[in-house]
């Protein structure tokens, strides 16, 4: 269907996020198993629960607009996930190297989500859709927290991995 106005664009963006979050949930479950750092693994399990909440909030945002939730294929997130899978099959990394690689993959996913939510929130506000903006802002806050965790915890875990490798 052609996207001819801002309201149709918001529907498109919600569909894109809906698709992305569903695929992220699947990828996150796989990546959680690859994590070697206990604190990171625990945080990833927590983010699985948060991601389920993101999907529910997007469904509520659709309903706030009197729309049925409908996913819109999002090649951006599929590309990030595919890159992760390709690295595994083509480079056949050690468990430790894969865990380190996953820090970068996780950050790429969170940054994608943060950018997509920021755009959709600005659009919702421009259209006066307060409820949609609030729901998406709640998701955004959890993505920002996860991104911060990955940066700080990731740096710590990578230092430890480099120390073990050098020993
Ligand atoms: Fe999310
Ligand atoms: Fe996330």
For 5-59, give the DSSP string. SHHHHHHHHHHHHHHHHHHHHHHHHHHHHH--SHHHHHHHHHHHHHHHHHHHHHH
Task: Compute the distance from residue 113 Cα to the ligand 1 centre, in Å.
Answer: 6
Task: Compute the distance from residue 53 Cα to the ligand 2 centre, in Å.
Answer: 11
Q: What is the pLDDT along the chain (167 residues), one digit of tens a residue?
A: 688 899 999 999 999 999 999 999 999 999 999 988 899 999 999 999 999 999 999 999 999 999 999 999 999 999 999 999 999 999 999 988 988 898 999 999 999 999 999 999 999 999 999 999 999 999 999 999 999 999 999 888 888 888 988 88
Task: Compute the distance from residue 166 Cα to the ligand 2 centre, in Å.
Answer: 32
Task: Compute the distance from residue 156 Cα to the ligand 1 centre, in Å.
Answer: 24
Task: Compute the distance from residue 23 Cα to the ligand 1 centre, in Å.
Answer: 10
Task: Compute the distance from residue 96 Cα to the ligand 2 centre, in Å.
Answer: 23
Quote the pLDDT of residue 104.
92
Question: Any idea which residue has 């073990």 for tokens?
Answer: 164
Task: Compute the distance from residue 12 Cα to the ligand 2 centre, in Å.
Answer: 20
Task: Compute the distance from residue 78 Cα to the ligand 1 centre, in Å.
Answer: 14
Ligand nearest to the CA of 116: 1
- Report how far residue 71's alpha carbon sits from residue 126's, in angstroms, rounded to the nearest whole number: 23
Task: Compute the distance from residue 144 Cα to the ligand 1 centre, in Å.
Answer: 10
């Amino acid at each position: 269907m052609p996207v001819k106005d801002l309201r149709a664009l918001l529907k498109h963006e919600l569909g894109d996020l809906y698709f992305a979050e569903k695929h992220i949930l699947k990828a996150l479950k796989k990546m959680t198993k690859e994590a070697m750092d206990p604190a990171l693994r625990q945080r990833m399990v927590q983010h699985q629960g948060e991601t389920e909440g993101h999907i529910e909030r997007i469904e509520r945002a659709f309903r706030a607009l009197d729309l049925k939730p409908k996913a819109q294929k999002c090649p951006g997130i599929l590309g990030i996930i595919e890159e992760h899978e390709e690295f595994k099959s083509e480079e056949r990394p050690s468990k430790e190297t894969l865990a380190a690689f996953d820090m970068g993959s996780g950050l790429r996913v969170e940054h994608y989500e943060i950018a997509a939510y920021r755009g959709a929130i600005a659009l919702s506000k421009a259209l006066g859709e307060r409820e949609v903006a609030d729901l998406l802002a709640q998701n955004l806050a959890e993505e920002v927290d996860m991104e911060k965790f990955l940066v700080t915890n990731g740096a710590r875990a990578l230092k430890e991995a480099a120390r073990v490798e050098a020993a």
